[in-house]
Amino acid sequence: MPLINCNNIALSYESRTVVKDLSFDVHEGDYLCVVGENGSGKSTLIRALLGLKSLSHGSIVFSEGLSKNEIGYLPQQSGIQKDFPASVYEVVLSGTLNSSGFLPFYKKKNRLTAEENMEKLGITDLKNACYKELSGGQQQRVLLARALSATKKLLLLDEPTSGLDPIVSSDFYRIIEKLNRDDGITVIMVSHEIKTAIKYATHMLHLHRNHSFFGPKEHYLECNDCKKLLEGGSDNV
């Protein structure tokens, strides 16, 4: 059974249908890159997968081995998030709240999880630093460590490299690939950097108002319309 099965779903945004008749499966270990022009419903789809957006039609079914509190989520970063007045450790530790239920305190295992993920992301030396004083790349590593503290199964990433310089962005993609390849974490990433993202993805979902593509990366690269996009010189979709 797929980790996630989306069957004939439709989604609306501000009373306008942005996704319709969309079906796809995500299996354990997949790295799915979601691309499409602005307004095509990429972020709306991520919100639906998180249960934050109702479907207009169709269904989203999770496997029995995955519950919604086992999903790590890295949203598009807002100005408010960038100025969050907390330490790096506090931000990362907050990611364990999903698995804590209604308990008003952190257990030892929560603290160990946070520390392990800070080490994995190379930010242990920033543990006591103020989050809002970090660079953009450092902040994204902290938020990724936070998302990892919520899951060992599935990461949802909504344009995680937006606003980062090319070198930092490339480094971030390599980190995600390593988590997918070495730790077996399933990844669903919305990206506007199609030429970079496609290097690491196993599957592509290209949302379009008239026709959406879903399939292995190799099939996407053979699609004539997709070739035109990739050869057009633009890295943004």
CB 43 within 8 A of CB 52: no
What pLDDT, in 10s, does the model give residues 100-139?
655 556 789 999 999 999 999 999 999 999 999 999 999 9
Please tell me the predicted confidence (pLDDT) of residue 176: 96
Please tell me the predicted confidence (pLDDT) of residue 14: 83
Strands across the sheet containing 186-190: 71-74, 154-158, 186-190, 31-36, 203-207, 213-216
Please name the helix (run of DSSP H) or strand (run of DSSP E) that holds residue 189, with its range, or none. strand 186-190
Please tell me the predicted confidence (pLDDT) of residue 229: 59
The CA distances from residue 181 to 122, 152, 172, 205, in Å, are: 18, 13, 14, 20
Please tell me the predicted confidence (pLDDT) of residue 234: 42
**What is the Cα Rg of the chain in Å?**
18
Please tell me the predicted confidence (pLDDT) of residue 197: 83
The CA distances from residue 124 to 96, 97, 118, in Å, are: 17, 20, 5
Q: Is 237 helix (H, G, I), strand (E, B) or coil?
A: coil
Closest to 59 (Cα-Cα) out of 4, 2, 8: 8
- List all residues 6 or more positions away from 90 whose beta carbon is below 8 Å from its beta carbon: 131
Burial label, 59 (beta-carbon count in 10 A; 0-12, 13-18, 19+): exposed
Please tell me the predicted confidence (pLDDT) of residue 88: 96
Cβ–Cβ contacts within 10 Å for residue 23, how many? 13
Residues in the chain: 237
To 10 degrees, what angle do helices 166-183 and 136-148 make? 20
Residue ranges and CATH numbers for the domains of the chain are 1-66+153-237 (3.40.50.300), 78-152 (no CATH)
Burial label, 106 (beta-carbon count in 10 A; 0-12, 13-18, 19+): middle
Please tell me the predicted confidence (pLDDT) of residue 68: 76
In tens digits, the chain (237 residues) has pLDDT values of 899 999 999 999 888 889 999 999 999 999 999 998 888 899 999 999 999 999 999 999 999 878 777 899 999 876 556 677 899 999 999 999 876 655 556 789 999 999 999 999 999 999 999 999 999 999 999 999 999 999 989 999 999 998 889 999 999 999 999 999 999 999 999 998 888 888 899 999 999 876 789 999 999 888 766 666 565 544 444
